[in-house]
Amino acid sequence: MPFIIAIDGPAASGKGTIARALAAHFGFHHLDTGLLYRAVGAKGGDPVAAARTLEKTDLSRPDLRSAEAGQAASRIAAIPEVRAALLAFQHRFAGQEPGAVLDGRDIGTVICPGAPVKLYVTASDQVRAQRRAAELGADPVLMLAELQERDRRDRERATAPLRPAEDAVVLDTSNLTITDAIARAVAVVDRARG
């Protein structure tokens, strides 16, 4: 049975960096589930139809990391029919041997609630805005407003809102280096694996 690591948290918290590092460290597959919603938005047209026809190649578009794609993904992720259409894709991915790391907003609460490791990665709004602004070459004040609006939308949506799973380990990366954050996450997984 594959070992699943579920990582949730808001944008620019460090969850993607930690997820990629854990996948590399343990030799697991990695899926940034946010790319699914970004790809659905980038396909255009009816989002439900786009979600139902999503293919792995759609996840390699170069424009999926833009701020616009992130905002579109947040709006599309609030559509229950889109979430339902992408559920099977995520379950298939999580079932790969020897294991999988999935990161997103609802992995530990909806997609893989039985995962033996659930991390909720977070950081202060200001730190996240600075990180995202540096990544995109944008204004930190503007990024703060955009992140707070996206967080509000993600937390208040009726279907699969952003929140930590009850049994998730919360990892606040506000004052951690990347190396320290990854080391703490590896330690959590090591403990779970025995």
Residue 86 has pLDDT above 90, yes or no: yes
Is residue 70 a known part of a binding site?
no
Q: Is 56 annotated as a binding residue?
A: no
Mark residue 14 as left, alpha or beta (left: phi above 0; alpha: psi -120 to 50; beta: remaining): left
Tell me: is residue 14 an annotated ligand-binding position. Answer: yes
Instruction: Encode pLDDT of 103-145 as tens digits.
Output: 999 999 999 999 999 999 999 999 999 999 998 899 999 999 9
State the Rg of the chain over Cα.
16
Q: Is 16 annotated as a binding residue?
A: yes
User: What are the pLDDT digits (tens) for 66-79?
Assistant: 878 877 888 888 89
Amino acid at 100: A
Cα 138 from Cα 10, distance rounded (Å): 18
| Cis peptide, bond prior to residue 98, ω within 30 of zero | yes
List the domains of the chain with CATH numbers.
3-193 (3.40.50.300)
17 is in an annotated binding site: yes
Answer yes or no: is 57 a known binding residue.
no
The pLDDT of residue 69 is 84
**E strands within the chain?**
3-8, 29-32, 99-104, 117-122, 169-172
Model confidence, pTM: 0.90
10 annotated as belonging to a binding site for a ligand: yes
Are 8 and 168 within 8 A, CB to CB?
yes
In the DSSP assignment, the letter for residue 124 is -
